[in-house]
A and B are shown apart, each in its own frame.
Chain A
């Protein structure tokens, strides 16, 4: 993001986690409240990134392994004569999806709780920052009008 910008910048989705990274702008006179908000957002971003990157990679890998084992059981190779990657149809993949979902259930439960907590905290902090900024602006306005 350009150096003169006073805003956060959001980028394209990450290859592994599908989440969009944000580069946070640090204002020169950042109040402690604003800093708490920014750090909470950064931490949430890092956590989410870690979780989803790992989760999606595990999914891709396990999916490959599943396809490979099924193809081997059927006596086929990973790539056919034309060099195309062999795939299984949706019904065969359904077993894998079912299995993967149940295996990761506990992990998702934990992540859900974590995510909801973070989301509420961050939004609440945003609210506090917005109120603080509004009050500051009102005071500045009053001062200017007074002058």
Chain B
């Protein structure tokens, strides 16, 4: 259903947010159902990791292992579309400032239907003039900046902002989101600039603008600079220097550490997880101006989430990674890959329990989130034990709805300002207030 949030202090009516989950069944029937989330619209596309994305720049993860999905006519395929985002290693890391770049990366683009695919591949086989048309530019830049991954990154940053125990400041929120988004675009573009021949060879990423010659490398770099510089400046001057520094650091981490490391060592996954963890920290520091335990906890949750997400995704992309020369755990250390995924699923339970201890949420949060955390841990265990495609896919798809749901529950269980001051009331009033959204 639709939820409308009311901001008590401003008396403003916020735009209702919808989260639309698109599921596609094998016979092309579209089932849509609404799912509440701040800003996220997620598509899961073939994952080709990259970085990607993994989200925001991170995301390179994008693979076409799900190509096999198309061939399985009998099987019910649930395809979630993820709006831009490059998840941490989950491809997307994306995402920029490496916000979530990694996430996106993991999402690969799944062709929507057979016909469009055929038309596209036919067009693909023709020679094209390398001339930039102005009307194509917005679409090209959107793809260059992995706009869907960027949106996911911005939404994790918004989650960080919303969880901070301070009165909600709309201007600050908008500036922080905008700055984060710009930084994410910049990082994603640089990531694509670096990876042209590798992207050409992987199914998930072979339709990127630089690979197809729709835009020149020079223009890509200029676009990245014209997004990154204002983005970081906006964060530093319009929000606070700490957020700006984090943003700049994240861009650096994503483009100069994660991207080259993908081809050098499996440690890239951990770097990418950090890239994905920084955006919510940025959201928090934008609101409070300081790096406290709550920020690190939120970052920790995102960090741990990246592993089941990306490791499950990369399990199906092993052929493309091996051929492309990417050093990923799923190829070189498969046992470690599954162990780490399971470990971090369990860590999510621990982190959720730590939230009320640090005064970020009420104690209803670990209780309500326990079922979903246990479920993802169960899938993580199945993946660990079975090590096959079906368990990896189950884990991956679970991670897609697990994160927004976890953040949503976290927000609804947020410890309100007033509650904090009157701890005596806490346990008594909790249940009644748990589902009420109150922003002091």
Which residues of chain A have a CB within 8 Å of any CB of chain B? Answer: 1, 5, 7-13, 17-20, 22-23, 48, 52, 55-56, 59, 90-91, 93-94, 96-98, 100-102, 104-105, 107-109, 111-112, 115-116, 119, 122-123, 126-127, 130
Question: Judging by beta carbons under 8 Å apart, are A119 and B196 in contact?
Answer: yes
Let me know if B124 is at the binding interface, CB within 8 A: yes
Q: Are A59 and B323 in contact (CB under 8 A)?
A: yes
- Minimal Cβ-Cβ distance residue in A for B392: A90
Task: Point out the residue from B197, B201, B389 that lies within 8 Å of A115, measured CB to CB.
Answer: B197
User: Which residues from A are CB-within-8-Å of B211?
Assistant: 20
Give a binary string over B323-343; 1 marks a CB under 8 Å from any A CB, 0 the rest. 101010001101000000000
Set of chain A residues within 8 Å of B221, measured between Cβ atoms: 123
17 contacts between A and B (CB under 8 A): A1-B129, A7-B131, A8-B130, A10-B128, A10-B130, A10-B212, A13-B206, A20-B212, A94-B318, A96-B322, A97-B318, A98-B332, A100-B323, A101-B325, A101-B332, A104-B325, A122-B217
Given contacts A1-B129, A12-B125, A119-B196, contact A102 B332 (CB under 8 A): yes
By a CB distance below 8 angstroms, the chain A residues around B218 are 123, 126-127, 130
Q: Assess A20 versus B200: contact at CB under 8 Å? Given A1-B127, A112-B260, A112-B263.
A: yes
* Smallest Cβ-Cβ distance to A112: which chain B residue: B263
Give min CB distance, B227 to chain A, whole Å. Answer: 17
Q: Which of B193, B212, B321 contacts A119 (CB 8 A)?
A: B193
Whether A98 lies near B322 (C-beta < 8 A) is yes
Q: What 0/1 readout, one digit per residue, does chain B (187-224) give for beta carbons within 8 Å of chain A?
A: 00000011011001100001000011100111001000
How close is B197's CB to chain A, nearest CB, in angstroms? 5
Contact partners of A94 in chain B: CB under 8 A: 318, 331, 334
Known interface pairs A7-B131, A123-B217; 6 further A-B residue pairs with C-beta atoms within 8 A, sorted by A's residue number: A10-B213, A17-B201, A19-B201, A22-B130, A93-B318, A115-B197
Tell me if B200 and A9 are in contact (CB < 8 A).
no
B73 at interface (Cβ–Cβ under 8 A)? no
CB-based nearest B residue for A101? B322
B264 within 8 A of A: yes
**Could you tell me if A97 and B212 are in contact, using CB atoms closer than 8 angstroms?**
no
Nearest-neighbour CB distance to chain B for A40, whole angstroms, equals 12
A65 to B389, CA, bound (A): 24
* Complex Cα–Cα for A17 and B201 (A): 7
Interface: B388 (CB within 8 A) = yes
Mask of B245-279 contacts with A, CB within 8 angstroms, 1/0: 00000000000000010011000000000000000
CB-based contact B325/A13 at 8 Å: no
Whether B129 pairs with A5 at a CB distance below 8 angstroms is yes
Please give the residue numbers on chain B whose beta carbons come within 8 Å of chain A beta carbons, in ascending order: 124-131, 193-194, 196-197, 200-201, 206, 211-213, 216-218, 221, 260, 263-264, 316, 318-319, 321-323, 325, 327, 331-332, 334, 387-389
From DSSP, what is the main secondary structure of chain A's interface residues? helix
In the complex, the answer to whether A18 meets B200 with C-beta atoms within 8 Å is yes
Complex contact A19–B200 (CB within 8 A): yes
Contact at B217–A97, with CB atoms within 8 Å? no
**Which residues from A are CB-within-8-Å of B331?**
94, 97-98, 101
Known: A12-B124, A101-B322, A108-B325. A56 touches B201 (CB 8 A): yes
Closest-CB distance, B123 to chain A (whole angstroms): 10
User: Which residues from chain B contact A52 at a C-beta distance below 8 Å?
Assistant: 197, 200-201
Residues of A within 8 A of B318 (CB): 90, 93-94, 97
Which residues of A are found within 8 Å of B212, using beta-carbon distances? Answer: 10, 20
Cα distance A126–B127 in the bound complex, in angstroms: 23
Per the bound structure, the CA–CA distance linking A123 and B218 in Å amounts to 5
| Bound-state Cα–Cα, A96 to B331, Å | 9
Residues on B with beta carbons closer than 8 Å to the beta carbon of A104: 325
In the assembly, what is the distance between CA of A100 and CA of B217, in Å? 31
* A5, A19, A96 pick with most chain B CB within 10 angstroms: A19
**Please, how many angstroms separate the alpha-carbon atoms of A5 and B284 in the complex?**
53
Query: With A20-B211, A109-B264 in contact, do A119 and B128 touch (Cβ < 8 Å)?
Result: no
Partner of B321, one of A12, A101, A107, A123: A101
B387 x A10 contact (CB < 8 A) = no
Rounded to whole angstroms, the CA-CA distance of A19 and B196 in the bound complex is 9
* Smallest Cβ-Cβ distance to A51: which chain B residue: B197
The distance from the CB of A41 to the nearest CB of chain B, in whole angstroms, is 10
Q: How far, in angstroms, from A48 to B200 measured CA to CA in the complex?
A: 11
Q: Let me know if B129 and A97 touch, CB within 8 A.
A: no
Q: Nearest chain A CB to B147's CB is how many angstroms away? A: 23
Establish whether residues B260 and A11, one from each chain, have CB atoms under 8 Å apart when the complex forms. Answer: no
Contact B321 A97 (CB under 8 A): yes
Which residues on the A side are within 8 Å of B193 (C-beta)?
A: 119, 123
CA distance A90 to B211 in the complex (A): 28
Chain A residues closer than 8 Å to B216, beta-carbon distance: 126
Task: Across the interface, name the chain A residue whose C-beta is closest to B328.
Answer: A101
A38 to chain B, nearest CB (A): 13
Across the interface, do A119 and B325 meet the contact criterion of CB distance under 8 Å? no
